[in-house]
Amino acid sequence: MSKPLRKVVFPVAGLGTRFLPATKAVAKEMLPVLDKPLIQYAVDEAVDAGADTLVFVTNRYKHAIADYFDKAYELEAKLQEKGKAELLALVQGTLPRHVRAIFVTQPEALGLGHAVLCARPVVGDEPFGVILPDDLIWNGGKGALRQMAELAEAEQAGVIAVEEVPHDQTDKYGIVDASVIDDRSASIRHMVEKPKPADAPSNLAVVGRYVLPARIFQLLDQTTPGAGGEIQITDAIEALLKEQGKVLAYRFEGTRFDCGNKAGLVRATMHMAMQDPALAPTVRAFLGNL
């Protein structure tokens, strides 16, 4: 992994069933936390990590994501005409000028591993990042992906974000068995998909950030469908581990909000509202009344 990270993949072709009926017409990644959709937080984190090429793996229902990053001619002309410079900057600033967005389709929702594999023609032969936008990770300083990209480059290894979860929730996550290197990183020995608490080797759960070498594409290509008939990224990472002997688990600095479920989206919204001096007093007073 000698090259710095330039490309980041956003697998956004899932069905988002936990937010139905909203996700019947709106992509889950377009759900807002305050005034920004989840996908914007993810893109900002990728750009912070140094990415200049963003690969969105979408399905045919998700035009809104492409529209969001596209130029909005009519709206921009209207804002210009009315002298609304601040709003115009917001509308034009969804994607920095030096960054390009590329959209590829995952024809069928065959799993996260399959979605990542769909990005192969764009990523080619270089290390890349993966961000699952419904895991919003907020850090005041360096974003989680930048922290991981730096470690991947320094250690010449794949890096997977992990977080400690309550012991009784291991069956909701991929769990790693790893030997500690320092207070943030560990060397993975083995990964288990959704183990029962009694069988879990630890409470370190894999969350939605990865920095991977291009070799993972060949391994994904050879991966047979696992649980639920889906091609699991965990299986390909296990194969990478066997082959290269080193994949790191990294406990990032920042707070993760699982916005793939309702409680997580509410928590993220409350958190962001409390960070905003204009909103915090109103929200605090409202909560007090509740």
Q: Contact positions toward ligand UTP, by CB under 6 A?
A: 11-18, 28, 57, 106, 109-112, 114-115, 132, 134, 260
> Of 186 and 268, which CB lies nearer to ligand UTP in the complex structure?
268
Min CB(192)–ligand UTP separation in Å: 17
Distance of CA 48 to the CA centre of its chain: 13
C-alpha dihedral sign at 36, 42, 46, 48: positive
Distances (CA, A) of 287 to 8, 264, 273, 282, 284: 38, 17, 12, 9, 5
Q: For ligand UTP, which residue has the nearest CB?
A: 14
Helix axes 73-81, 85-92, angle to 10 degrees: 160
Question: What is the C-alpha to C-alpha distance for residues 240 and 223, in angstroms, rounded to an integer?
Answer: 11
Residue type, 150: E
In our burial notation (b when 16+ CB lie closer than 10 A, e otherwise), range 102-127 reads ebbebeeebbbbbbbbbbbebbeeeb
Min CB(233)–ligand UTP separation in Å: 9
Token pair in block for residue 158: 């794949």
Min CB(18)–ligand UTP separation in Å: 3
- Closest Cα partner for 257 from 243, 248, 267, 242? 267
Min CB(12)–ligand UTP separation in Å: 5
> Of 1 and 258, which CB lies nearer to ligand UTP in the complex structure?
258
> Of 16 and 158, which CB lies nearer to ligand UTP in the complex structure?
16
CA-based radius of gyration for the chain: 19
> Of 63 and 78, which CB lies nearer to ligand UTP in the complex structure?
63
Min CB(187)–ligand UTP separation in Å: 26
> Of 55 and 273, which CB lies nearer to ligand UTP in the complex structure?
55
> Of 148 and 157, which CB lies nearer to ligand UTP in the complex structure?
148
Question: What is the C-alpha to C-alpha distance for residues 217 and 57, in angstroms, rounded to an integer?
Answer: 15
Min CB(115)–ligand UTP separation in Å: 3
> Of 1 and 118, which CB lies nearer to ligand UTP in the complex structure?
118
β-strand 174-180 against 128-131: which pairing, if any? unpaired
Min CB(281)–ligand UTP separation in Å: 34
